[in-house]
Structure 1
Amino acid sequence: MLNIRSRLTYQFMALVTAILLLFSVGVYFFSKLYLEKRFFIRLKDRTTTTTTLLFDLQATNSTITKLVNISDKELLTQESVVIYDIDSMKQVFNSSSSQSISYQSLISKMKVDRKTTYTELGEYYILGTYYKKGKSNYLIFVSAIDTNGMVALQDLRKILMVMILAGILLLGLSGWFFADRALAPMSGIIKQVNGIFPDYIAKRVEHPNRSDEIGLLVNTFNQLLDRIEEALNIQKMFIANVSHELKNPLTKIFTQIDIALMQKRSPEVYEQSLLSLKEDTRTLIQLTNTLLNLANTIITSESVQKSPIRMDELLWETKEQLIKWHEDYQVQINFLDFPEDEESLILYGNEASLKVVLMNLMDNACKFSFTKSAVVDFIANQEGINISFFDEGPIIPEAEIPFIFHPFYRSNATAQATKGHGVGLAIVAQVTQLHKGQISVSSNQSGTRFILNFPKA
């Protein structure tokens, strides 16, 4: 495989060589046309001179030939002037004793057309002219070989070939040099990239000109490094938090089992130990399920199976399921702008993941509310579907709002109020993004409101 420098050089050479060839062909073609036109004018002058001497001055054949040759400083090679009388079809004049050209085809054509004819026959250029003198009609043919023109074209071909070969050589050298200069920044970028991983993940690629194509590539690569660094940091935080969250219930379970086995105890004590183990096991199962949900949402939207979903019905199903799990919760659903067209209630998405979103937001609203209650407002129209979840819980500081959707992040305002793992809102944000929706948060003295918005496509 050729490297970029070689490919650029070859492409540059091919392009400019094609231009040179086209230019050279054009020069040669128009030079040939010019020489032919020039030779045609000379043949025409020969015709004019011959007819003037023959018909006007009544000169003899030998005298005409001498005078014509004297009048032209540059003699024509193998020149021949032949004049035919159309009526009698006899030669009136012939400047050459040995005529090797047959004019019969031209004679028959010019008897009909009676127009000046200029043609090529082998090396000869022939000019045929119709001439009328009194009642007589004549055909005048002048033929010759353009030796000087042929020599000039041969010299021009040699010059053009030499210039093209010299140009190709110069193009190869200059193309290789300029391709090296153009790609020089890439070598520096490669060295910088090789020095980034794995120890210097915070380092970024530098380039002096950020507005050219290489600068745009560097900016894109640095943005990719930002995302990689963020992903690695999240991974480290994820591992650290998972280890911590799993360690506590597992340690408690092992400790309680070890204590229970140290000596025989009464059934009441065993029952109490089993209840405690059940609670710790439930916590462990809940954590495992939330981690699985989080893992399932870290996928592309193309791989999510989607179908039409009635969001009002899904909201009612979520509420009923939440009340079964937590009998002390109270959820009030308000349909503020219920549309007549049922199509406005339908969202094209994944039912299971959207139910997780509604469940987490509804559960959080009840869990953090002082009254264990939540108010859900549902609005559907032609613009999209809007669902808000309001609770009268503690205020979330504005500085912490951008971080509450990060995995395992728990606000100081809510961390002490109730148990949790800080994963639910991360799942909500991920699923909402996969469905091309948006989520916003506002928190003040009256309470906290999470707003889901799914615009119509």
Structure 2
Amino acid sequence: MKIKDRLSLYFTLIGSGILLAVMVSLYISVYTIVHNDFYTHLNDRANVAAQVYLKADEISPDSLTQVRNRFSKNLHGEVTRIYDDRNSAAFIKDDEQYWQEKTIKNVRRYKHLEYANQNRQVVGNYYKDNQGNFVILVSAVDQTGKRQLDSILEAMIVVFLIVTITLFLVSRWLAQSTLSPIKSVVRQMQLIKSTNLHLRVDEGKGKDEISELANNFNRLLEHLENAFELQRTYVANASHELRTPITSIIGEVELALNKERSPGETKKTLQLVLEESERLRDTISGLMELAQVDMDYTIAQQSPIRMDELLWDVQAYWVNKAGAEALQINIEHMPDDEAMLTIPANYQLLFIALNNLIGNAFKFSSQQPVKCNFYADEILIRMQIVDSGIGIPKEDLDLVFKSFYRATNSHNFVGSGIGLYVTQKIIQLFKGTLQVESVEGRGTAITIQFNRN
């Protein structure tokens, strides 16, 4: 059964159950009122009978006439009997003893009695009179009350059926309207394949569970897209980037073996082989780093990482590698609450990302000192890595984050063009942003920012 059908059924059952309970309570109340009212009428008939037969000598003739007129107007199926001390019928003949002695004795015992016998209602009163002690029993059928109750019951059944059907139709429409965004999300999900993982599901403008579902699905798509892109990048570029330096090395060595060369030419060949080997080493290192990020990207275990402590760890690494003054950290602002320095991330991946940026800064500034400005408050954490190197041409700024892409002025430096691509993927994984500002010939500033909102 579909969710909308279940919701319609549950809503209808709950609504109908409440309505049925209300109607049953109302019917019982009306039934009680009608029966009690008829008992009052029977009690009046008993009092009138007492006045006609027992009090006739105590009231005026006019009053007696009025009482007898009232007594002559019988109720439907009315039976009235008066019994004396011997439980024998008095005043009104009763050849077949309409009421049993047990009933008469109960009236004498309790002084007043009301009960129902099938569709008849009975009232019994005990009277003390100067002529003796009498029991008056009156019985009748409340035909008018029964018709009223039957009419009310029929009306309730009709109303119940109409309301139940209306509840089902309305609840089905509400369920369909409420779940229509889910159907839209499902239709959009069906369009997403491995070849178009860049597509996203519309999250809408609400903040309900459906928007949350769409948001989490989009996050999953983002992870999958990045993982697929990393794999495609690795496969597509590894062979080309490895083949080029190896082909160059083989060609130079074959040429050196096939022809006698002077020491200067031999040295030049060896220098070329060395450069290509270093390029090959850097490419392999970059590809291994890319493979590591690819492996960890979708399964990266996140934990609270203090960004200031991570930065000090990176500085310690570069102090050992490039000297005490190589990486200069400038603390611009720190929050009062140390918890504001923490973000959920993976330590190893963030270390790789920062290391790539700082390594590039040293490389393209010919090992000149690099600055890192650190700012943190209750809203954001920002790190800006600034160098005074060759900078990036304006036309290359939008391309430097592509895999294996190298700026036009960087070909004299050893590298593979993987570092910034890997760094951007890592920063995006942890909901950060990466911005590059550069002036060719004057230096580059790369800013990492994590917003808490």
* TM category, shorter: 0.5 to 0.7
Residue of structure 2 in register with 1:428 after alignment: 423
1:390 aligns with 2:386: yes
Contact 1:53/1:64 (CA < 8 Å) preserved in 2?
Answer: no
One-letter code aligned to 1:304 = Q
Provide the TM-score with structure 2 as the length reference.
0.66
Q: 1:183 to 1:374 in 2, by over 3 A?
A: closer
One-letter code aligned to 1:49 = V
Contact 2:435/2:446 (CA < 8 Å) preserved in 1?
Answer: yes
Instruction: Tell me the alpha carbon deviations over residues 2-22 of structure 1, each in whole angstroms, 9 at most, x when there is no partner.
Output: 345654664465456546644
User: Matches of 1:197 and 1:340 in 2, distance apart?
Assistant: 47
Larger deviation: 18-27 or 169-178? Answer: 169-178
In the TM superposition, what is the alpha-carbon distance from 1:185 to its structure 2 partner? 9.7
Larger deviation: 280-289 or 120-129? Answer: 120-129
Larger deviation: 92-101 or 49-58? Answer: 92-101
Residue of structure 2 in register with 1:57 after alignment: 56
User: Matches of 2:341 and 2:221 in 1, distance apart?
Assistant: 39
Long gaps (5+) in structure 2: 59-64
Contact 2:318/2:326 (CA < 8 Å) preserved in 1?
Answer: no
In the TM superposition, what is the alpha-carbon distance from 1:421 to its structure 2 partner? 3.5
In the TM superposition, what is the alpha-carbon distance from 1:422 to its structure 2 partner? 3.6
In the TM superposition, what is the alpha-carbon distance from 1:369 to its structure 2 partner? 2.5
Q: Give the superposed CA RMSD.
A: 5.9
In the TM superposition, what is the alpha-carbon distance from 1:55 to its structure 2 partner? 4.3
- 5 Å matches for 1:402-413? 404-405=400-401, 407-408=403-404, 410=406
One-letter code aligned to 2:369 = S
User: Matches of 1:335 and 1:212 in 2, distance apart?
Assistant: 38
User: Matches of 1:3 and 1:341 in 2, distance apart?
Assistant: 50
Residue of structure 2 in register with 1:246 after alignment: 242
Aligned-partner SS, 1:98: coil
Long gaps (5+) in structure 1: 111-115
Residue of structure 2 in register with 1:71 after alignment: 73
User: Matches of 1:380 and 1:245 in 2, distance apart?
Assistant: 40
Instruction: Tell me the alpha carbon deviations over residues 337-364 of structure 1, each in whole angstroms, 9 at most, x when there is no partner.
Output: 6999999988886443333233222212
- For this pair of structures, how many residues does the alignment match? 437
Contact 2:182/2:210 (CA < 8 Å) preserved in 1?
Answer: no
- 5 Å matches for 1:152-163? 153=149
Aligned-partner SS, 2:444: strand
Out of 363, 373, 376, which is 2:372 matched to? 376
User: Matches of 2:9 and 2:336 in 1, distance apart?
Assistant: 67
Out of 349, 354, 362, which is 1:353 matched to? 349
In the TM superposition, what is the alpha-carbon distance from 1:283 to its structure 2 partner? 2.3
Q: 1:130 to 1:262 in 2, by over 3 A?
A: farther
Residue of structure 2 in register with 1:288 after alignment: 287
Identity %: 24
User: Matches of 2:294 and 2:311 in 1, distance apart?
Assistant: 27
Instruction: Tell me the alpha carbon deviations over residues 87-122 of structure 1, each in whole angstroms, 9 at most, x when there is no partner.
Output: x99998778542136154555445xxxxx7655466
User: Matches of 2:195 and 2:287 in 1, distance apart?
Assistant: 32
Q: 1:442 to 1:172 in 2, by over 3 A?
A: closer
User: Matches of 1:374 and 1:128 in 2, distance apart?
Assistant: 111
In the TM superposition, what is the alpha-carbon distance from 1:366 to its structure 2 partner? 1.8
User: Matches of 2:305 and 2:209 in 1, distance apart?
Assistant: 43
Instruction: Tell me the alpha carbon deviations over residues 354-402 of structure 1, each in whole angstroms, 9 at most, x when there is no partner.
Output: 3323322221222222673312345678888654321123555788767
Q: 1:227 to 1:203 in 2, by over 3 A?
A: closer
- 5 Å matches for 1:48-127? 48-58=47-57, 70-72=72-74, 74-77=75-78, 79-82=79-82, 97-100=97-100, 102-105=103-106, 107-110=108-111, 118-120=114-116, 124-127=120-123
